[in-house]
Amino acid sequence: MTLSTTPRATARLQFHKDFTLDDAAALVPYFAALGVSHLYASPLFKAMPGSTHGYDVIDPTIINPELGGLAALKRLVAELRAHEMGLLLDVVSNHMGVGGAGNAWWQDVLEFGPLSRYAGFFDIDWAPPDPALQGKLLAPFLGSTYGDALDSGEIVLRLDDEAGFCFDNHGNIFPLSPRSVALVLRRVAPRLSRRFAEIAALPEPAEEAARAKVELRAFMADNWAALDEAIAGFSTPERLHQLLQRQYYRLAWWRTAAAEINWRRFFDINTLAGLRVERPEVFDAAHCLLLRLYGEGLIDGVRIDHVDGLADPGAYLRKLRRVMERAGANRPEAAAQGAPYIVVEKILGTDETLEPRWRVDGTTGYDFMDQASAVLHDPDGEAPLSALWQRLTGRGADFDTLEEQVRRQILRDNLAGELDRLAAQLHRVARRDAHTSDFSLHVIRQGLEEILASFPVYRIYAGPAGHGAEDARMFGIAAAAAAARMRKADKPVLGLLRRWLLEDRPFRLPPGPARDEFMRARIGFQQLSAPTAAKSVEDTCFYRFGRLLSRNDVGSNPAQFSLSPAAFHALAAARGAAFPGALLATATHDHKRGEDTRARLAVLSEIPGEWEAAVLRWMRLNNVIREDAGPDAADELMLYQMLVAGWPLTLDASNLAGIDAYARRVAGWQKKSLREAKLHSEWAAPDEAYESACERFVLGCLDARREMLYEIIAFANRIAAAGAINGLAQTLLRLTVPGVPDLYQGTEFWDQSFVDPDNRRPVDFTVREAALREGNASLVNWRNGAIKQVVIARALASRRQQPDLFARGAYNAVEVDGAMARHILAFRRHHAQEEVVAVATRLVGGFMIQRPLLPPFAWGNASIPLKSGKWFDVLSGAEISSDGTILLADLLTQMPVALLRRASES
């Protein structure tokens, strides 16, 4: 069977210097035996030294040497082909890693400013409102204030072999401009000084500067004394300051970026600079290796990171597909065949759908992750858990209100520089038209802030040719909310912003600066709304809103507590019709909680009364360890959720070393949570007293000398079996609904992980390989997680045997009859003569069970329709006879999930 570029199933691996391409090659036989068709790699291009994730690419033209380089990639692909497998690559098109000295494009911009051949590669405003930044970019990389860094000697002038004369700040290299080099050399090397002065006057100075640096190195090789004399002339803080003022950058404390940044970053991260891949020369430079890899058959498709950061995602994706198709015209016969597989990392808002004109295969699966989790929550738990949260913490249970408040905070504290830059651009647009010239910078900024505070989706996609109906609807929702808050005298700016950001067509303006600025402002708004949403919701609200943390994850809307089976079925069928090749994820490198951590937490939605009684008892027990400094009630309530949800199933009270390791993991999660919440502490200004008090509280909760530890263990065990049923249910859903199932590294076993870096810990593949070889796990030893691997392997084997059924088969809900109907989710997939029926148990937290299976009597007379004849349960191996219906008491005797195939097809 010829391998298709569209995967049957993927396995996501995180590469770094301690897990290389050769390490992955050694695991290919395991993943092949598991049933995976494609490995799905984190970014492989050269990243910042020591990068643990690869999203800080500094050179997209080479494979990261820390991972083994191109030779190791070819070895991995050879092993994959030997096992009839392929490779997908995560690609970062939106931004690059900057800082340090490794990004040659960025270093060139620092050296030559607007004259750099790469100046147009990055989104830099060379004419911002701040006079001190005219013709310069802000370089917010200092660990202390600029003056303190000068006085303490943290900024050193030296001669670097590659950069030439530069400033060195703890390994961050800032090259001197040619005119500055001329100044430094004026007394010790007059001829070279004149050479660099002449270079500074050139419109394209880079090539001549490179040649002059060769001459400089040759000169200095024989004139070290002259080098020392030249540097000594700028040894005082005053002289260094004078020299720094002559650069194309303004070196600054990292905290200044929030208010003064004049270039686009990835969110608010100073070490990730936005790329302008909408420009042809940037696209070509950033994708040359990618296209070569695809053309040579080394990769079969790509995942595009943070697609909403791009200027025009639709145009980019359509172009990417075209050039990949051209590059793949002569792929080797041994490579996977078919169209390039392209998925996008896209957070879909409530009721938002992926744009079909993008010509992608789908999203990376955050939408499915949300749906598979929500359908396992009991809607009856929303009201009591909301009341508990409000009563104990004094905080509201209205997530939308919280989101609006946090959006304002993010725009004020984290993205003020981006908002100011956008407002200034639109103010310049306003001044060009007599009809809009009276709108002040202040009122334009206010209008933008009000709209962004209520924007219902990550962004809209209004381009040069106008906008779509959904763009207009989403902008209208935000504008209406803004109008309700603004004073009457200022409301007219909202209509103006609608014209500028949505309605007017830039091509009606004559070509030139006016049209360019208009379009840059429109794009700038869209590129600001996305990070505003991400920083506000995922990176802040999710750490403040603790009603039930299983509903706080990437792609989720915590305001939506649950999802009905009917709604789940409708969404699954719609995905099958529109994007049958979309990835289906339940765990990722970015999740806030592991898939089985969420699954166990979901049980609390079914037993809110038990949970409330436990929490109140624990708060009383812990009065003796709670300090005045912290934690507050909200942080305490969220901690209790994580303690019971993350408790390892195989850990008991006698294992003190294991308990200590768990405590350290929880404390790590808690510190990140406190800082992301930005209430008591934050990354920019940590409150060590509060954090330390909270850490002592964690350790006190898990102290083997206290009753509290045993309470935590008991409650974790109370909900563990029901949580495991949820975990197996969402695993089956991922493997059988329309789409391509994605397996995140290590989650073949129970995934009780927390947010990164906890979810990126090394995986023990040796034990997983051994379990797969044995292949006889059952519910008897369910706590070790091998039963989950069995479900995965057997379902993937079914996908391999019936590829067309799962790739193109129709999807229909199966009605459940009987009093227990709400506890089952069932559906049918069928294509041509092939058919499977998937059955998953749900909402069993109210049953006191010790293993993940309801006793047969609990099902009563509940049944599902099943065509008459012999059936085979792929998961349990049981043979089943149906006379048109099947009792659940007869079906779910060995596992809480089933995947039924006609016996003749098995």
Q: Dump pLDDT digits (tens) for 440-498.
A: 999 999 999 999 999 999 999 998 878 999 999 999 999 999 999 999 999 999 999 99
Q: Are strands 583-584 and 164-169 parallel, antiparallel or unpaired?
A: unpaired
CA separation for the pair 430, 444 (Å, rounded): 9
Write down the pLDDT at residue 516.
86
Local structure of 424: helix, strand or coil:
helix
Residue 906 has pLDDT above 70, yes or no: no
The per-residue b/e assignment along 858-867, b for 16 or more CB within 10 angstroms, e otherwise, is bbeebbbebe
Q: Are strands 172-175 and 95-97 parallel, antiparallel or unpaired?
A: unpaired
Write down the pLDDT at residue 1.
64
Q: Are strands 863-873 and 897-902 parallel, antiparallel or unpaired?
A: antiparallel
The string of DSSP codes covering 467-529 is --HHHHHHHHHHHHHHHHHS-GGGTHHHHHHHIIIII--GGGSPTTHHHHHHHHHHHHHHHHH
Helix H, strand E, coil C: the string for 844-860 is CCCCCCCCCCCCHHHHC
- pLDDT classification of 592: cutoffs 50, 70, 90: very high
CA separation for the pair 813, 632 (Å, rounded): 45
- If phi > 0 it is left, if psi is from -120 to 50 it is alpha, else beta; for residue 17 that is alpha
- pLDDT classification of 755: cutoffs 50, 70, 90: very high
Local structure of 453: helix, strand or coil:
helix
Amino acid at residue number 136:
K
Contact indicator for 648, 657 with CB cutoff of 8 Å: no
Region 123-145: mean pLDDT is 95
- If phi > 0 it is left, if psi is from -120 to 50 it is alpha, else beta; for residue 62 that is beta
Out of 57-71, 443-457, 770-784, least confident range = 770-784
On average, the pLDDT of the chain sits at 96
Contact indicator for 306, 267 with CB cutoff of 8 Å: no
Residue 639 has pLDDT above 90, yes or no: yes
Residue 684 makes CB contacts below 8 A (sequence gap 6+) with 255, 258, 413
Copy the structure tokens of residue 431: 């001044």
Q: Dump pLDDT digits (tens) for 301-315.
A: 999 999 999 999 999
Q: Dump pLDDT digits (tens) for 859-889.
A: 999 999 999 999 999 999 999 999 999 999 9
Region 523-533: mean pLDDT is 97
* Whole-structure pTM value: 0.96
Local structure of 141: helix, strand or coil:
strand
Copy the structure tokens of residue 824: 């089952």
Write down the pLDDT at residue 464.
81
CA separation for the pair 500, 258 (Å, rounded): 25
φ, ψ for residue 354 (rounded to 5)?
A: -70, 140
Neighbouring C-beta atoms of residue 536, cutoff 10 Å? 26
Region 367-381: mean pLDDT is 98
Locus of tokens 């499977």: 836
Please name which of 93, 547, 149, 108 lies closest in space to residue 282, comparing C-alpha atoms. 93
Write down the pLDDT at residue 905.
55
